[in-house]
Structure 1
Amino acid sequence: MVYDRIKQQMMDTLPMVRLLGIRIDSIGSGTSEVSMPDDAKLHNHLGTPHAGALFTLAETASGAAMAGGFAELIADMRPVAKESRIQYQKLAKGATRASGRVPGDLAALKAQLAADGKVAFPVDVDIHDEHGTLAAQVQVDWYLSAKR
C-alpha cells in the first residue's frame, strides 16, 4: 500500500526521528498519527518531554499528513517545510502522540500543483499526552514542487 511505502521512506530518511524513538503509526489521505515514547533522555529540567522533542514529533506528523495527502505524487515531489508555529498549551506528561491533518481541500491543492508546478499549504497538528491533555498545537506551512 502507498501509505506503508511513505511511512517506510520517512523512517529510512529521517535519522532524527528514529533517534527520538518517534513512530509513525498511521498515514491517511491528508492525515497522520505519530507517537513518541516517554523516555528520560527526552525530558527537560521539569522531567517532562522537552519542547524540541515535542516539536520534532509535530513536524513529523505534519510531514506524514502532507505526504499522505499527495500520496500518488509525493515520490516525484520536493517537499520543504517553510515555516512553523507552535503554541504550548500545558505540560505534557508521559508518552505523547501527534495528530496531523491538511485542513484544505486536497483536490484543489492538487489542481493548483498541476497548474502551477508548485503549491503551498498549512498542516495542523495537535499534540496530546498519554492522559489526553492537549499539550501543544502546531501549524507547519509546506511548499511542494516537482523534483528537478
Structure 2
Amino acid sequence: MVYEQIKKHMTESLPFVRLLGIRIDSIGAGTAEVSMPDDGKLHNHLGTPHAGAIFTLAETASGAAMAGGFADLIMDMRPVAKESRIQYQKVAKGATRASGKVPGDLAAIRAQLKDEGKVAFPVNVDIFDEHGTLAAQVQVDWYLSAKR
C-alpha cells in the first residue's frame, strides 16, 4: 500500500525522528497517528517530555498527514513546512501521541495543486500524553509544489 511506502520513506529519511524513537503508527488520506515513547533522554528539567521532542512529534504527524493527503503524488512533490504554531495546554506525562489532520476540503486543496502547480495549507495536530490529556495543539502550514 502507498501509505506503507510513505511510512517507510519518512522513517528512513528522517534520522532525527528515529533518534527520538518516534513511530509513525498510521497514515490515511490527510490523517496520521504518530507516537513517541517515554524516555528519560527526552525529558526536560521537570522530568517530563521536552518541548522540543513534543514539537518534533507534532511536526512528524503533520508531515505524515500532509503526505497521506497526496499519497499518489507525494514522491514527485517538494513539501516544505512554512510556518508552525504550538500552544502547550498541559504538562505531558509519559509516552505521547500525536493525531494530525488536514482540515477542510482535501479535494479542493488537491484541485488547487493540479491547477496552479503549488498549494499552501495547514495541518492541525493534537498531542496527548499517556493518560489521554491534551498536552498541546499545533498547526503546521505546508507548501507543496512539484520537484524541480
What fraction of aligned residue pairs are identical, expressed as a percent? 84
Distance 2:137 2:29 in 1: 20
Q: Please, which runs of 5 or more residues in structure 1 have no aligned partner?
A: none
Aligned to 1:31: 31
TM-aligned CA deviation for residue 122 of structure 1: 0.1
How far does residue 104 in structure 1 lie from its aligned partner after superposition?
Answer: 2.1
- Greater than 4 Å deviation, 4+ residue runs: none
Matches of 1:52 and 1:105, distance apart in 2: 30
Distance 1:71 1:106 in 2: 12
What are the within-5 Å matches in structure 2 for residues 100-139 of structure 1? 100-139=100-139
- Partner in structure 2 of residue 85 of structure 1: 85
Give the aligned length.
148
The AA in structure 2 aligned to 1:2 is V
Q: Which residue does 1:64 correspond to in 2?
A: 64
**1:2-41 equivalences in 2 (<5 Å):** 2-41=2-41
Q: Deviations for 1:46-103, whole angstroms, at most 9, x for unmatched residues? A: 0000000000000000000000000001010000000000000000000000000000
- 2:11 counterpart letter in structure 1: M
Tell me which residue corresponds to 1:74.
Answer: 74
CA-to-partner distance for each residue in 1:14-53, whole Å, 9 max, x for gaps? Answer: 0000000000000000000000000000000000000000
**Normalised by the size of structure 2, how large is the TM-score?**
1.00
Considering only aligned residues, what root-mean-square deviation do their CA atoms show, in Å? 0.3
| Distance across 1 between alignment mates of 2:99 and 2:137 | 10
Q: Which runs of 5+ in 2 are unaligned?
A: none
Letter aligned with residue 101 of structure 1: K
